Structures are given as structure tokens and as C-alpha cells.
Structure 1
Amino acid sequence: MNKRTGAKAAIATVGLVLAAATPALATTVNVGGGTWSYDQGANTAWSNYKHASNYHASSVSIGGQLSRSGCTSPGSWSLASGSKNGGSINYYYDPSC
């Protein structure tokens, strides 16, 4: 599992993750053979990952509370999000599970 720690200032926008939609202001990078998108909104933080050929997963830890996507089929977005609680935020992706 790979990790990215986020310490961004909160932006006054509402972040909604709907199905496979990638949030507009999210950081999106090509890593581990797939596409990883992660960010935070006013009240939530999310980590989404898509891999074309592997079962894969994503997760986000907020103040020590881990939210996981579960193992997701190739070609589909794994979606993980959690409510912000004032704690530190860590983003993860797993290119094969």
C-alpha cells in the first residue's frame, strides 16, 4: 500500500464523489499502472484509484480512522471517502489486492 500525507488548507467548496466521477480540484496522478485521484473538501477527504487490468483498492485515513474501498474489479474506480474530524489526513492506493 502506498501513502500520501495531505496538509492542504481547506477550500470553501463542497466535494461530492459520485460513482466514478473524479473531483475537479483533486490531485490526479498516474501511479502503479493506474490512475489515482485524491483530495479533500470542506467536510470530507477521498482517495480513488482505477487500474485497467488488476483488482485494486484505495483508502483514506482521517485522524486515525481508516475508510477503505474494498477490492475493486479491473477497469472500475475504487472509491474511499471519510468525514474530516480535525485529524491528519493520509491517502492510500493499492494497485493489486
Structure 2
Amino acid sequence: MEDKFEINSRIFKALGDSNRLKIIDLLSSGEKCACEILKFFDISQSTLSHHMKILSECGLVKCRKEGTWNHYSLNLNNANKSILFFMEIITCLD
């Protein structure tokens, strides 16, 4: 079983890319189809799929398939856990 450091390391690594941060920002306003997300970037569909795979695998993004389209949304539970983890490790409790 992965510990909280390994889990959050994967999440923070995924956030180390500016396009993925922009995707998180877009999804903060609600679920979006891949085609909607793609309109905001000058990247190929396969590159977007790569970014979405990384965000999904680390647990920050959920994917829902509807027909041939993938709809993405933030996994707020995991995002909040990572925020709390980061606050915990940078806060001195003297």
C-alpha cells in the first residue's frame, strides 16, 4: 500500500506541468468534455489525452464516458486531501 508521501508525490509531479495546471483551472468550473478542454489549448488531441491520463492516474481528475466522448471533472476529495497534506508538512506546530 502506498503511503501518503508517495501518493502526494505523484499528484505534485502531475501538477508540475503548466498545461495540466490550466486543465485543473478549467475543470474547477465544472465537468467538461475533452473537446471543450481542447479549445483552450494549441495542442493535439493525443497530447490532451496524455495530460488527462496523468491527471486521472494520480487521482485528481475523474473521467466519465458518454458514447464516444470522455467527460472530465475534478476529484475534489483527492484534491482537498493533497491541499491538507501540503499544509501539514509546511506548517510548524511548535
Fold agreement, TM-score > 0.5? no
Q: Per residue, is there more helix in 1 or in 2?
A: 2
> Which has the larger Rg?
2
- Give the TM-score normalised by the residue count of structure 1: 0.30
Q: Per residue, is there more strand in 1 or in 2?
A: 1
- Give the TM-score normalised by the residue count of structure 2: 0.31
